[in-house]
Structure 1
């Protein structure tokens, strides 16, 4: 019997689609959604996709370019069912941590703009974490941790090892104008023990039930850590 088949994972994506000051279109970096989505669903795990506004979740158009394509991205773009699910996301106010075994946030620049200040997302992350359930975020998505507090009122990430898109990657990619703040700087300011690997290479760290990955290449390893954590829970 596949004990993962009874597990449920909530995937939270951004609703933000354009940096108004630059006119640059943004959204979810599709590799960071597609890779974990298939790793989870192929194991029989039930996935729900939610966003702040519900409905069609924007995909960063740059992430759909051929040079960023992966096997999972190609599979997504030939998978009408998966595409429809990203077009019909559930509203964040309709999901509750108690109904799921883990939560996962894919990145892209979009999540940096609408998730850090979103009270529903903040509450969700805190609820999952306090319940001892895996809370996983990759690349720019750890921005969603900015205003999450622990039970004592301290930043949730204070004193924890946290990975996320590095300043050097942001600078090399010439994308600093697409961000409201530099993720690495924010994580350090909130008291996290920011850790990173080599630029563009997979790097994932777990601090208790908080799982964070550095960049798009880390999405697979983040999903594998979610699966391992779920497999450990009876």
Structure 2
């Protein structure tokens, strides 16, 4: 998880200022896969850079985000409250507290979306260490929307020589086209583009009408999805990969 409750929004207004835009994790992108994991009998350990309680993106908790489905919105909010009490969501462990030996106990790693990962996950060396372990051990790794931006952290570990661990991987993220729509319709500023950032490091980005509508991409140990529409499929595939 990200600790951030905002992210940098660039070229705002006539003066082209950079401001901090409120954000956090995207509710559906956490709740839907988490419910699938819990239903499958898995324990969830939450972790973040500094161990702060994660905050949801305000846009993701609106009724509009759920297309008026009040029941589904409240079910996911209730799951979050349950995970705060039972799974440590309100007090994540710091990445640095999970040592290499303990990583052997985990079946997989999952990074949800929301714009927050743009603020503090892409250059975090401790997250890079964790992701590099799962990559080297070929253990399941799931990412959705802006979550794949965290893969850039693998360049910042001492052993990486600034090499991107997922070079050549087929990955899906929140696309540049989707981000540009958000910039124009909602944010009124410019956002760091996840798709472009990963492609520049050598990832083979898979972006299409299908991924925009919820199809997922699987390459070796990684399953990725573009947006909340892929959250259920991502969760199911992640559980399947861990059980294999």
Q: For 2:223, what is the secondary structure of its paired residue? A: strand
The number of aligned residues is 219
The higher radius of gyration belongs to 2
Flag the 1:59–1:106 CA change in 2: closer, same or farther, 3 A: same
Q: Is the 8 A contact 1:109 1:178 kept in 2?
A: no
Q: Select which of 206, 213, 220 maps to 2:218.
A: 206
Matched, 1:159 2:168: yes
Q: Is the 8 A contact 1:35 1:73 kept in 2?
A: no
TM-score by length of 2: 0.82
The residue aligned with 2:232 is 220
Matched, 1:81 2:70: no
Q: Is the 8 A contact 2:2 2:121 kept in 1?
A: yes
Deviations 1:69-113 (Å, cap 9, x if unpaired)?
366642232243224432222221222422201000001100111
The residue aligned with 2:3 is 15
Flag the 1:186–1:103 CA change in 2: closer, same or farther, 3 A: same
Q: For 1:144, what is the secondary structure of its paired residue? A: helix
Q: Is the 8 A contact 1:197 1:203 kept in 2?
A: no
Root-mean-square deviation (CA, aligned residues, Å) is 2.2
Q: Select which of 14, 23, 43 maps to 2:40.
A: 43
What CA distance in whole angstroms lies between the structure 2 residues aligned with 1:184 and 1:90? Answer: 29
Unpaired runs of 5+ residues, structure 1, are: 1-12
The residue aligned with 1:132 is 138
Q: For 1:77, what is the secondary structure of its paired residue? A: helix
What is the CA-CA distance between 1:171 and the residue it aligns to?
1.1
Flag the 1:176–1:143 CA change in 2: closer, same or farther, 3 A: farther
